[in-house]
């Protein structure tokens, strides 16, 4: 009944009121504080947010103005979003780990007069760029620690703002005024501005409206049958469309409980304690989890290790089929049940997956083995595809129709079209209203008949009817001999190996494909320990000849798999090198959502790219790096390059048969 009545509410504030009436004493939010989980019910939440809204208004926040939200997933920051929306103001969340310049850009572009921030770190960051932010007037903060000696004339604890609002609300006139403000909120009002992570150039502010956001969230809540009894852990960046959609919007629409981790570092333990029923993780997180499990299994006793590998084998054979409700022989079912008792159950418990009913992954292509692993142990992991401009969902896999290489059919009420050049276009209920203060860019991504261009290339699979995404439309290139070159496809194949954390492929308008590789310090470090390989730094480990040998094996396997595909066999990797430093978002090499910025990396490591193609055996490179405290330094290295054997094209085989 929840989702149906959501249609009546056209703003998030009205949804909050509906939830307080409907689910009053049910938990709306949880956070662990001083080691104990604290709970706020929907009624608590409404009372707090009303007081907070009045407090912010007394500070000067008015309808139509913007307020920046900077920090991790903490209840008080979510309340800041709610309180701003209650006043008809527009929250602008910013990534907590954004460096000062990025923060300054967003805050200046969004013209914020107010900022709600997490702690001293964020306050310091904003103060350090305040000359670029002439409009910024007041800041409120969650965590008082370290801020005692700061000038508090324009800096206030959130608790104090809420307390003041509560006092003011005792006056019936103020309460009536607030009710009027809530009633004045319209579905067409912007509800939030989400800045894109900027895979291509500077970030753009995506304006979403109340009504469209609620419509989109209502569709998916029905699709996955989410209710007020579900629980989610909000551990992904607050400023990311995923968190805002999955936890905030869906939480309000379905009335489920959103739990906030105690701190960013405790998310894994909190996951286990909370036992969410709805879970989202980008492929990268799933990969890290699996790597960690595998490493710990390597260190386990012989019996445990044997048991683990045997039952994982069983799961690979039957698990997926059982989850999809297909027919499985009786002995398979029995073995799987035993495995569940001995291995999968405890494993899922350790990972915090015991109660997960619906799990999604998205953001990047996921390796088939990785995807199947989680499904085989009984986690209902599915894929979705979407983007900020669509307010996340465009396609999602329905239960029972799961394939590792598709992202599912179009969601309810979403209209998808493939353009001539292979680009995916869409019209959806959650569609954005435009880029903030940028009509030119808005016009650029719209087709004349009102579709939005995603910038991704893809096609509908004939067999399944699901959408398949291959790469960014503008990134798909061709090697000089005419072979198709989808860089991300190749990089993802490499990245599936636990030893490889990141890969950057080059090949467009070149004679052959060459890649730069980042090793995974956890996996390779553990391998080094077991094999008595001594190293003092990441750089030394990355340049070790034995490390080159193990990576060469992985590259050879990728070549073998590329050779299987007629269209891509010419895109086999001819040369590779291992980078001497980890690619890092602070150096601009990755986006904040950890996607590689290929052309930026090509410029930055120009001598290496040149060496990959001129046949040299090694090359020198010096790169400037930014440390966490903002200082800069230079790393110099001599990087070796390896040549690869390529596989013969098996095309003849098919003809002979």
Applying CB under 8 A, which residues contact another protein?
32, 34-36, 144-146, 148-149, 262-263, 265-266, 269, 628-629
Choose between 230 and 270: whose C-beta lies nearer to another protein: 270
- What is the Cα 150 distance to its own chain's centre? 34
* Partners of 40 in the β-ladder: 29
Choose between 35 and 325: whose C-beta lies nearer to another protein: 35
Least separation in angstroms between residue 121's CB and another protein is 11
71 closest CA partner among 139, 138, 133 = 139
Choose between 144 and 588: whose C-beta lies nearer to another protein: 144
Specify whether the CB–CB gap between 232 and 242 falls below 8 A: no
Least separation in angstroms between residue 627's CB and another protein is 9
Choose between 134 and 301: whose C-beta lies nearer to another protein: 301
Least separation in angstroms between residue 38's CB and another protein is 12
Separation between Cα atoms, residue 294 and residue 523, nearest integer Å: 9
Least separation in angstroms between residue 289's CB and another protein is 16
Specify whether the CB–CB gap between 526 and 499 falls below 8 A: no
Choose between 273 and 438: whose C-beta lies nearer to another protein: 273
Choose between 34 and 302: whose C-beta lies nearer to another protein: 34
Least separation in angstroms between residue 75's CB and another protein is 15
Least separation in angstroms between residue 502's CB and another protein is 23
Structure tokens at 646: 């390529």
- Listed in sequence order, the DSSP H helices in 131-171 are 158-169
Least separation in angstroms between residue 73's CB and another protein is 15
317 closest CA partner among 300, 296, 295, 334 = 334
Please enumerate in sequence order all residues whose Cβ is within 8 A of that of 142, keeping only pairs 6 or more positions apart, or say none.
71, 74, 76, 77, 116, 117, 118, 119, 157, 158
* Partners of 623 in the β-ladder: 635
Specify whether the CB–CB gap between 234 and 258 falls below 8 A: yes
Least separation in angstroms between residue 221's CB and another protein is 32
Choose between 24 and 630: whose C-beta lies nearer to another protein: 630
Choose between 267 and 515: whose C-beta lies nearer to another protein: 267
Least separation in angstroms between residue 206's CB and another protein is 33
Name the pairing type of β-strands 513-519 and 257-260: unpaired
Separation between Cα atoms, residue 47 and residue 79, nearest integer Å: 11
Choose between 265 and 420: whose C-beta lies nearer to another protein: 265
Choose between 202 and 266: whose C-beta lies nearer to another protein: 266
Least separation in angstroms between residue 36's CB and another protein is 8
Buried b (16+ CB within 10 A) or exposed e, 535-569: beebbebbbbeebbebbeebbeebbeebbeeeebb
Name the pairing type of β-strands 27-33 and 36-41: antiparallel
Instruction: Outline where DSSP puts E strands in 132-287.
Output: 138-141, 155-157, 190-195, 205-209, 231-233, 257-260, 278-280
């Amino acid at each position: 009944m929840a989702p149906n009545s959501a249609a009546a509410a056209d703003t998030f504030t009205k949804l909050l009121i509906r939830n307080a009436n409907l689910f009053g004493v049910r938990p709306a939010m949880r956070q662990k504080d001083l080691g104990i989980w604290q709970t706020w019910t929907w009624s608590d939440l409404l009372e707090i947010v009303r007081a907070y809204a009045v407090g912010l208004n007394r500070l000067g926040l008015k309808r139509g103005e913007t307020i920046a939200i900077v920090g991790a997933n903490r209840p008080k920051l979510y309340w800041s979003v709610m309180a701003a929306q209650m006043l008809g103001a527009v929250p602008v969340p910013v990534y907590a780990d954004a460096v000062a310049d990025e923060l300054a850009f967003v805050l200046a572009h969004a013209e914020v007069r107010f900022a709600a921030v997490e702690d001293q770190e964020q306050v310091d960051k904003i103060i350090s760029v305040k000359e670029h932010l002439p409009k910024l007037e007041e800041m409120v903060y969650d965590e008082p620690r370290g801020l005692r000696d700061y000038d508090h004339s324009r800096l206030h604890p959130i608790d104090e703002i809420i307390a003041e609002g509560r006092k003011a609300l005792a006056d019936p006139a103020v309460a009536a005024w607030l009710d009027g403000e809530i009633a004045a909120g319209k579905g067409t009002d912007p509800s939030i501005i989400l800045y894109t992570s900027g895979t291509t150039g500077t970030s753009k502010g995506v304006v979403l409206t109340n009504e469209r956001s609620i419509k989109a969230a209502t569709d998916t809540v029905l699709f996955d049958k989410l209710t007020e009894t579900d629980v989610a852990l909000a551990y992904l960046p607050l400023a990311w469309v995923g968190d805002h959609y999955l936890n905030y919007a869906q939480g309000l629409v379905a009335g489920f409980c959103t739990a906030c981790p105690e701190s960013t570092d405790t998310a894994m333990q909190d996951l286990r304690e909370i036992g969410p029923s709805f879970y989202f993780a980008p492929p990268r997180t799933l990969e890290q989890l699996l790597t960690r499990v595998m490493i710990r299994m390597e260190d386990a006793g012989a019996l445990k290790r044997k048991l683990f590998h045997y039952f994982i084998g069983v799961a690979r054979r039957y698990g997926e089929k059982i989850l999809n409700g297909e027919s499985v022989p009786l002995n398979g079912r029995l073995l799987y049940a035993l495995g569940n008792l001995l291995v999968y159950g405890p494993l899922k418990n350790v990972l915090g997956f015991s109660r997960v009913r619906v799990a999604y992954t998205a953001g990047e292509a996921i390796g088939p083995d990785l995807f199947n692993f989680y499904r085989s142990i009984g986690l209902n992991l599915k894929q979705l595809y979407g983007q900020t401009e669509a307010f996340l969902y465009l396609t999602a896999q329905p239960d029972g129709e799961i394939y590792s290489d598709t992202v599912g059919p179009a969601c309810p009420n979403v209209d998808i079209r493939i353009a001539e050049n292979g680009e995916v276009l869409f019209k959806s209920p959650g569609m954005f209203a435009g880029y903030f203060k940028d009509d030119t860019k808005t016009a650029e991504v719209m087709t004349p008949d009102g579709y939005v261009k995603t910038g991704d290339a893809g096609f509908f699979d004939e067999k399944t009817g699901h959408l398949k995404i291959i790469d960014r439309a503008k990134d798909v290139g061709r090697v000089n001999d005419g072979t198709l070159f989808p860089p991300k496809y190749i990089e993802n194949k490499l990245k599936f190996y636990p030893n490889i954390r990141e890969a950057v492929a080059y090949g467009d308008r070149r004679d052959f494909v060459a890649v730069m590789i980042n090793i995974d310090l956890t996996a390779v470090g553990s391998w080094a320990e077991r094999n008595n390989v001594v190293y003092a730094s990441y750089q030394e480990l990355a340049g070790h000849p034995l490390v080159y040998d193990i990576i060469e094996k992985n590259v050879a396997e990728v070549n073998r798999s590329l050779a299987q595909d007629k269209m891509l066999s010419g895109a086999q990797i001819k040369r590779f090198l291992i980078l001497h430093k980890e690619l890092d978002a602070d150096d601009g090499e990755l986006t904040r959502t950890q996607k590689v910025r290929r052309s930026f990396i090509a410029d930055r490591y120009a001598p290496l790219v040149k060496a990959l193609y001129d046949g040299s055996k090694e090359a020198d490179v010096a790169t400037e790096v930014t440390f966490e405290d903002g200082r800069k330094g230079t790393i110099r290295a001599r990087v070796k390059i390896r040549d690869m054997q390529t596989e013969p094209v098996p095309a003849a085989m098919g003809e002979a048969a």
